[in-house]
Amino acid sequence: MSRLVIVSNRVPPPRERGQLAGGLAVALREALAGREAMWFGWSGSHAHAAATAPRQTRVGRISFATIDLPTADYEGYYRGFSNGMLWPLLHYRLGLAEFRREDLAAYRRVNEAFAAALRPLLRPDDLVWVQDYHLIPLGACLRRLGFAGRVGFFLHVPFPPQAIFGALPQGAALLADFDAYDVLGMQTADDAENINVMLAEAGHGVRAACFPIGIDPDSFAAEARTAAVGPEAERLRGSLAQRSLILGVDRLDYSKGIPLRFRGFAQLLKRFPEHRNRVTLLQIAPVSRGDVAQYRALRRELDELAGRINGEHAEFDWVPLRYLTQTVARTTLAGFQRVARIGLVTPLRDGMNLVAKEFVAAQDPADPGALVLSRFAGAARALEGAIVVNPYDPDEIAEALHIALTMPEAERRQRWERMWQAVRQHTAATWAKSFLAQLAAAAAELPAGAVQR
């Protein structure tokens, strides 16, 4: 079997390498298991000079190779172009995007530096799998350095239509970079359609296909079962005093629609007063990218909004909205999701949204909670049993919460069953397996006897 080479902005930190945990690592766990693999990315440290040799460590059959980056390059590449420009653009939020030519230059420099450090480590029959929007030009950089093996790319976030992507300065060059990949993966059919129209119009040969990412449903369900009878879940249950729990779990990010979600909850309390003092919304949103201005503004907005909603609606024995910006351990969260009557997932735009799938996996099949889900999350495509809302309309969120709170048990069970089947159909393992099968097949298409590119 060919060696698998994963490239992502960050690699798992040393303490997590023995037992891979956390987002991408969980998704890749099965793909990495049982084969030789290398994971390449930024070390998390800054360097003074541009070119540093990669540092390599090995844990079992996986080797981790990391490079340091000069502070200024990293700022322009990560905070500037990746998160200040591409993230809002790819989430349809042009008004929040900030373009600077020097950021784009740093983005290209860092991609070149990644390629230069990675190239000598590659073998001709490796399967190289590049992850996400930070590294779009990497494939083309590797080709320029003479790498002719198989390289695939997966975009974890949405891909917008031409009318939005077209606003990106020098966007044609970035679009052309996709052409270096043998396999191009998107989360949903809509994303694939959006990019394919543009690729075709620009005369590029590559086409994107859809590989919806998932979770490891059985292990998440088991974790939730255990955690739901653990001390934290017991404390949470005790504090609710029989009230129904509505749960929101997100990174503190403007794509997640948290302010409108809070307004939707406030509308519920206004328009459906029978739920007053009978529900609690717990929103867990650890600060992320706190050094980017738009994220600091979001935090201020939420602090104010939460204070206002509680000031207006709280009673002396009831605080309707509990809002935490600290991190909560993953296991504890799984338990909380099982305690919740409603999972409230209302991103304005989201590649997939794994929290929605985790909520489904965490439920008690005998008495499951209901999921209120934005139609603009990739997950809405698969989770047909969810109560789907337009997250821009707080009144619609309020109505969906009311429906969920009053839904008969039989309907909850029937909806949950459909969602559970979907969560088990598209898992982290099937995602990685189907992508890698296509990438491996890219070489098989070469005519017999042909020299590998």
Of residues 11 through 50, those in contact with ligand ADQ by CB under 6 A are 23
Of residues 395 through 434, those in contact with ligand ADQ by CB under 6 A are none
From CA 172, how far away is CA 179, in angstroms rounded? 11
From CA 382, how far away is CA 380, in angstroms rounded? 5
- The answer to whether residue 157 forms part of the interface with ligand ADQ (CB under 6 A) is yes
- Which of 20, 25, 31, 284 touches ligand ADQ by CB under 6 A? 284
Q: Is 121 or 259 the residue whose CB approaches ligand ADQ more closely? A: 259
Q: Is 108 or 289 the residue whose CB approaches ligand ADQ more closely? A: 289
How would you label 26-55 residue by residue, b for 16+ Cβ within 10 Å and e otherwise? bbbbbbbeeebbbbbbbbeeebeebebebe
Question: Does residue 216 sit in helix, strand or coil?
Answer: coil
- The answer to whether residue 251 forms part of the interface with ligand ADQ (CB under 6 A) is yes
Binding range to ligand ADQ, per CB under 6 A, among 34-42, 139-147, 248-256, 299-307:
248-256
- Which of 206, 276, 286, 310 touches ligand ADQ by CB under 6 A? 286
Residue with tokens 């304005």: 348
Binding range to ligand ADQ, per CB under 6 A, among 122-130, 143-151, 282-290, 385-393:
282-290
Kindly list the distances between the CA atom of residue 162 and the CA atoms of 184, 200, 201, in Å, as whole numbers in the listed order. Answer: 18, 12, 10
- Which of 250, 344, 373, 387 touches ligand ADQ by CB under 6 A? 250
354-362 helix and 217-227 helix, angle to the nearest 10 degrees: 60
Beta carbons of 211 and 435 less than 8 angstroms apart = yes
Catalytic residues: 156, 350
- The answer to whether residue 358 forms part of the interface with ligand ADQ (CB under 6 A) is yes
Binding range to ligand ADQ, per CB under 6 A, among 246-254, 265-273, 306-314, 387-395:
246-254
- The answer to whether residue 191 forms part of the interface with ligand ADQ (CB under 6 A) is no
Q: Which helix (H) or strand (E) holds 142?
A: helix 138-144
User: Rounded to the nearest whole angstrom, what is the least distance from the CB of residue 126 to ligand ADQ in the complex?
Assistant: 23
- Which of 66, 194, 337, 353 touches ligand ADQ by CB under 6 A? 353
Return the structure tokens found at 424.
């088990």
Q: Where are the alpha helices (DSSP H) in 202-249?
A: 217-227, 231-240
From CA 181, how far away is CA 183, in angstroms rounded? 5
The length of the chain, given as a count of residues: 453
CA quadruple 82, 84, 90, 91: dihedral positive or negative? Answer: positive
- The answer to whether residue 350 forms part of the interface with ligand ADQ (CB under 6 A) is yes
- Which of 321, 352, 387, 404 touches ligand ADQ by CB under 6 A? 352
- Which of 31, 96, 195, 213 touches ligand ADQ by CB under 6 A? 213
- The answer to whether residue 355 forms part of the interface with ligand ADQ (CB under 6 A) is yes
- The answer to whether residue 221 forms part of the interface with ligand ADQ (CB under 6 A) is no
- The answer to whether residue 103 forms part of the interface with ligand ADQ (CB under 6 A) is no
User: Rounded to the nearest whole angstrom, what is the least distance from the CB of residue 357 to ligand ADQ in the complex?
Assistant: 8
Kindly list the distances between the CA atom of residue 450 and the CA atoms of 145, 152, 179, 427, 453, in Å, as whole numbers in the listed order. Answer: 21, 21, 21, 36, 9
User: Rounded to the nearest whole angstrom, what is the least distance from the CB of residue 131 to ligand ADQ in the complex?
Assistant: 9
From CA 203, how far away is CA 136, in angstroms rounded? 18
- The answer to whether residue 354 forms part of the interface with ligand ADQ (CB under 6 A) is yes
Per CB under 6 A, residues contacting ligand ADQ are 23, 156-157, 213, 249-251, 284-286, 327-328, 330, 333, 350-355, 358
